[in-house]
């Protein structure tokens, strides 16, 4: 009984340890988002709350096109990372060779390197006098340099490379959890390797695919640096926010686009949390 | 023609080689170009020199950016540790009713769009009349680094037996002594790894810093981004090579101290 009371009072004291972080996050994390949300419903010269900013963003052809392009970019990059990353994730999960460590290093190390450095690397590769054009030119395959950057091509290539590790890691972590017995059983029952893959592994890795797609899509929507460095005149939501704040100084419109971005992210986050709760996808929780 | 099974393995190998090149190429090429003696960025690089490395330190915005970024990153990890460690310790040892909710709350800065937070902080601070103050920038960086320190300390501490601390208390140590001489040494690997991640995230941050820095408080990535809008010379390559070298050196030291395999498990 005495022990119990001692423990109880310690819980009360421990709650104090949570106080600084909670207060800090409310002040500098929750409040700024609320400010954005509030500003999106205000407009200069209009009294009270208004939907005017939302109407403007969704009905104006230019702004709507930016939203549309951003989502299209998200879908495109998600699709590419899935196609390019799935076999690698599968290999990392299944192999027993020494390649595994090397591949893990290759996949994880870019995450520690600044996105600016990686995007800058792509500038050197894709530019007019870059690696690809020099190579193709000296082989006589092209007469004029290809325009590979300062357009969507450059953005898609750069973003795919930047976000590929997230896809590979969430797929490999799910495939690793598929029991060896299942694939062995399938092969004992006479299925070919391909049949085992289509009938057993692919369906069981759907959660990893979903989780990887959600992460990559969310990160594409919010991405900023790669588009700024490789994009030229291409416009996405995050860049539009930047422009509205620093050039046009229309804080209400910037807040509106920001709120759309935030709400979209929250919706996808909700699905991701549901996925994690269902299967306990290890990696997804970390990103 | 190879037999079917061998052909599959062959295809897989070819794909893995191409994928590895795709993942590593941008970084390899940046290093290669930084040693060029040409005055413009070109591949393959011409000649060999260190001149662009010296040029980095002749560019005033880079020098100021390096200084500001280091100052900001150090301040960030100190404050972030002070706020996140107590919370991680409390959540491991006590069953709070909403423990999981708190945990998700502390991790959520990782998932929400940072650029919106950047604008929000800017507008929020200008409403408070603080403008582009260093403290607002610092607060933003602390918010986005809290998840890294929280999760590594939480992971490390969860793996430690409570008996050790209880023995210390039974032997007459005060709470503070127990924390200082028992708990802190035990969670040290988690603190160090979390701080290194936090350092990298703060040092590389653009979406917050681009809104919250002015001419004199500019951080290195923002300075580089602005520089790249008008220039395309190899000085950015040289700068990047130095940064890569620091990251590799840091990882090597970590590996020597704790072993990377052990560290990669801490995040769970």
Q: Which residues of A touch B14 (CB under 8 A)?
A: none
CA of B88, closest CA in chain A: separation in Å? 8
Nearest to B113 among A107, A222, A246 (CB): A222
Tell me, what's the pLDDT at B2?
Answer: 57
Do residues A9 and B98 make contact, with C-beta atoms less than 8 angstroms apart?
no
- Given an 8 Å threshold on Cβ–Cβ distance, is B106 in contact with A25? yes
Question: Does the residue A196 lie in any domain?
Answer: yes
Q: Cα–Cα–Cα angle for A121, B51, B54, nearest 5°?
A: 95
Which pLDDT score, from 0 to 100, does residue A158 have? 95
Restricting to B residues 183-202, those with a Cβ less than 8 Å away from any Cβ of A are 200
The three-state DSSP-derived secondary structure of chain A is: CHHHHHHHHHHHHHHHHHHHHHHHHHHHHHHHHHHHHHHCCCECCECCCCCHHHHHHHHCHHHHHHHHHHHHHHHHHHHHHHHHHHHHHHHHHHCCCCHHHHHHHHHHHHHHCCHHHHHHHHHHHHCCCCHHHHHHHHCCCCCCCCCCCCCHHHHHHHHHHHHHHHHHHHHHHHHHCCCHHHHHHHHHCCCCHHHHHHHHHHHHCHHHHHHHHHHHHHHHHHCCHHHHHHCCCCCCHHHHHHHHHHHHCCHHHHHHHHHHHHHHHHHHHHHHHHHHHHHCCHHHHHC
Identity of the residue in A21, A31, A131 whose CB atom sits nearest the CB atom of B84: A21
Cβ separation A112–B247 shorter than 8 A = yes
With cut-offs at 50, 70 and 90, classify the pLDDT of residue A111.
confident
Residues A119 and B228: their CA atoms lie apart, in Å, by 11
Interface confidence, given as ipTM, is: 0.88
The 10 Å Cβ neighbour count of residue A37 is 17
In a mutagenesis test of the B interface, which of A22, A101, A124 is the best target, namely the one with the most B β-carbons within 10 Å?
A124
- Shortest distance between the Cα of A61 and any Cα of chain B, in A, equals 23
Give the closest-approach CA distance of A86 to chain B in angstroms.
Answer: 11
* A2 lies in some domain: no
> What tens-digit pLDDT sequence spans chain B (268 residues)?
556 667 878 888 899 999 999 999 999 999 988 888 877 777 777 778 888 898 889 889 999 999 999 999 999 999 999 999 999 999 998 888 888 889 989 999 988 999 999 999 999 888 877 767 889 999 999 999 999 999 999 999 988 888 888 888 899 888 889 988 999 998 998 898 899 889 999 999 999 999 999 888 899 999 999 998 888 888 999 999 999 898 888 878 877 776 655 555 444 3
Task: Pick B43's closest partner by Cβ from A84, A134, A246.
Answer: A134
- Please identify which residue in the block is written with the tokens 């090579």: B241
A276 pLDDT above the threshold of 80: no
Contact status of B3 with chain A (Cβ, < 8 Å):
no
Q: Are A241 and B133 in contact (CB under 8 A)?
A: no
* pLDDT band at residue A200 using 50, 70 and 90 as cut-offs: confident
Scanning B70-129 for CB atoms below 8 A from A yields 82-84, 86-87, 89-91, 93-96, 102, 104-117, 119-124, 127
Please give the average per-residue pLDDT across A204-226, as a whole number: 91
- CB < 8 Å to B224, chain A: 116, 120
Could you tell me if A160 and A81 are in contact, meaning their C-beta atoms sit under 8 angstroms apart? yes
- Asked whether B95 and A15 are in contact (CB, 8 A), the reply is no
pLDDT surpassing 80 at residue A287: no
Contact at CB, A245 and B119, closer than 8 angstroms: yes
Chain A residues whose CB is inside 8 A of the B102 CB are 18, 22
Report CB contact under 8 Å: A14, B207. Answer: no
Q: Is residue A33 part of a domain?
A: no
Q: Across the interface, which of A14, A120, A130 has its CB nearest the CB of B43?
A: A130
What are the pLDDT digits (tens) for A127-155?
Answer: 888 889 988 988 888 888 889 989 999 99
Domain containing A184: what range? 61-286
Chain A residues with CB inside 8 Å of B25's CB? 121, 125
For chain A, the residue count is: 287
Closest by Cα among B211, B237, B191 to B86: B191
State the Cα torsion B192-B193-B194-B195 to the nearest 10°.
50
**Span B206-226, pLDDT tens digits:** 999 999 998 888 999 999 999
| Cβ atoms A166, A215 nearer than 8 A | yes
A185 lies in some domain: yes
Task: State the alpha helices, DSSP H only, in chain B.
Answer: 4-34, 51-56, 60-93, 99-107, 114-127, 134-158, 162-170, 175-178, 184-204, 209-212, 220-230, 235-258, 260-264
Rg (CA), chain B: 23
* Distance of alpha carbon A229 from the chain centroid: 18
Domain-embedded: residue A221: yes
Q: How much of chain A, in percent, has pLDDT values that exceed 90?
A: 47
Chain A residues close to B20, C-beta within 8 Å? 103, 106
Distance CA A96, CA A74 (A): 34
Q: Is the pLDDT of residue A36 over 60?
A: yes
Q: Indicate whether A247 belongs to any domain.
A: yes
Structural domains counted in chain A: 1
C-alpha to C-alpha distance for A97 and A238, rounded to whole angstroms: 42
Reported confidence tier of residue A212, pLDDT bands at 50, 70, 90? very high
B173 three-class SS: coil
Angstrom distance (rounded) from CA B32 to CA B28 = 6
CA-nearest residue to B261 within chain A is: A101
From B203's Cα to the closest Cα of chain A, the distance in A is: 9
Q: Is residue A203 part of a domain?
A: yes
Residue A6 has pLDDT above 60, yes or no: no
d(CA A256, CA A263): 11
Instruction: Give whole-number Cα distances, B217 to B75, B133, B207, in Å.
Output: 14, 9, 15
Q: Is the pLDDT of residue A96 over 70?
A: yes
Contact between B111 and A10 using a beta-carbon 8 Å cutoff: no
Interface of B with A in 141-180 (CB under 8 A): 142-143, 146, 150-151
Enumerate domains of chain B plus CATH numbers.
Answer: 59-264 (1.10.3720.10)
- Considering only CB atoms, which chain A residues are within 8 Å of B165? none
The residue of chain B with its CA nearest to that of A132 is: B43
Cis preceding-peptide flag for B44 (omega within 30 of 0): yes
Q: Which of B15, B86, B200 sits opposite A20 (nearest CB)?
A: B86
For residues A244 and A251, give the distance between their C-alpha atoms in angstroms, rounded to a whole number: 7
For position A189, what pLDDT does the model report? 86
Domain assignment present for residue A24? The answer is no
Give me the pLDDT at residue B152, please: 92
- Residue contacts between A and B (CB atoms, under 8 Å): 234
| Best B23, B176, B265 residue to mutate vs chain A (most A CBs within 10 Å) | B23
Q: Spell out a b/e string for A243-273, using b for 16 or more CB atoms within 10 Å of the CB, else e.
A: ebbeeeebbbbbbbbbbbbbebbeebbeebe
Calculate what percentage of chain A has a pLDDT beyond 70: 92
Please tell me whether residue B49 adopts helix, strand or coil conformation: coil
Cα distance between residue B178 and residue B182, in whole Å: 5
Across the range A259-264, mean pLDDT stands at 95
Read off the CATH number of the domain in which A112 is found.
Answer: 1.10.3720.10
Q: B147 CA to chain A: closest CA distance, Å? A: 9
* Of the candidates A216, A256, A232, A237, the residue with the CA atom closest to the CA atom of residue A65: A237
In angstroms, the CA B212 to CA B141 distance is 10
Q: Averaged over A155-166, what is the pLDDT?
A: 95
The pTM of this model reads 0.88
Inter-chain residue contact B110 with A224, CB threshold 8 Å: no
In chain A, the N- to C-terminal Cα span, in Å, equals: 43
């Amino acid at each position: 009984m005495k022990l119990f009371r001692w423990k109880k009072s310690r819980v009360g004291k421990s709650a104090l340890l949570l106080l600084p972080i909670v207060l800090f996050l409310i002040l500098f994390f929750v409040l700024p988002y609320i400010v954005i949300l509030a500003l999106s419903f205000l407009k200069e010269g209009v009294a009270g709350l208004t939907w005017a900013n939302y109407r403007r963003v969704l009905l104006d052809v230019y702004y709507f096109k930016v939203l549309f392009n951003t989502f299209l970019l998200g879908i495109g990059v998600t699709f590419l990372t899935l196609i390019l990353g799935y076999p690698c994730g599968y290999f990392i999960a299944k192999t027993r060779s020494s390649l595994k460590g090397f591949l893990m290093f290759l996949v994880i190390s870019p995450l520690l390197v600044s996105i600016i450095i990686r995007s800058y690397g792509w500038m050197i590769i894709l530019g007019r006098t870059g690696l690809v054009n020099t190579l193709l030119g000296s082989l006589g395959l092209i007469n004029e340099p290809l325009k590979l950057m300062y357009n969507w091509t450059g953005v898609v290539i750069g973003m795919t490379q930047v976000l590929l590790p997230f896809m590979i890691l969430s797929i490999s972590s799910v495939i690793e959890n598929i029991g060896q017995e299942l694939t062995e059983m399938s092969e004992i029952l006479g299925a070919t390797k391909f049949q085992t893959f289509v009938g057993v592994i692919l369906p069981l890795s759907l959660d990893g695919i979903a989780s990887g797609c959600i992460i990559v899509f969310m990160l594409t929507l919010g991405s900023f640096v790669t588009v700024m460095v490789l994009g030229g005149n291409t416009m996405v939501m995050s860049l539009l926010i930047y422009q509205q704040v620093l050039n046009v100084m229309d804080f209400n419109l910037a807040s509106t686009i920001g709120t759309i971005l935030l709400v979209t992210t929250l919706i996808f986050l909700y699905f991701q949390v549901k996925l994690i709760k269902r299967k306990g996808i290890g990696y997804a929780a970390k990103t | 023609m190879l037999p079917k099974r061998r052909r599959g393995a062959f295809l897989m190998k070819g794909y893995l080689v191409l994928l590895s090149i795709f993942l590593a190429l941008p970084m390899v090429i940046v290093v290669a170009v930084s040693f060029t003696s040409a005055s413009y960025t070109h591949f393959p690089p011409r000649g060999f020199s260190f001149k662009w490395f010296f040029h980095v330190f002749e560019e005033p915005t880079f020098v100021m950016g390096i200084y500001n970024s280091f100052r900001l990153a150090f301040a960030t990890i100190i404050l972030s540790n002070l706020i996140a460690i107590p919370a991680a310790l409390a959540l491991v040892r006590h069953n709070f009713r909403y423990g999981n909710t708190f945990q998700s709350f502390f991790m959520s800065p990782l998932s929400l769009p940072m650029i919106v937070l950047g604008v929000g902080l800017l507008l929020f601070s200008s409403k408070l009349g603080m403008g582009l103050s260093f403290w607002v920038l610092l607060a933003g960086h602390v918010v986005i680094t809290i998840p890294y320190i929280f999760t590594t300390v939480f992971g490390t501490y969860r793996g430690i037996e409570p008996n050790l601390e209880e023995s210390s208390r039974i032997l007459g140590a005060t709470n503070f002594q127990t924390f200082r001489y028992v708990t802190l040494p035990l969670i040290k690997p988690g603190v160090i790894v979390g701080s290194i991640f936090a350092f990298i995230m703060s040092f590389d941050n653009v979406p917050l810093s681009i809104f919250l820095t002015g001419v004199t408080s500019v951080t290195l990535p923002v300075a580089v981004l602005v520089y790249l809008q008008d220039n395309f010379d190899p000085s950015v390559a040289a700068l990047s090579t130095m940064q890569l070298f620091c990251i590799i050196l840091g990882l090597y030291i970590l590996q020597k101290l704790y072993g990377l395999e052990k560290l990669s498990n801490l995040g769970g």
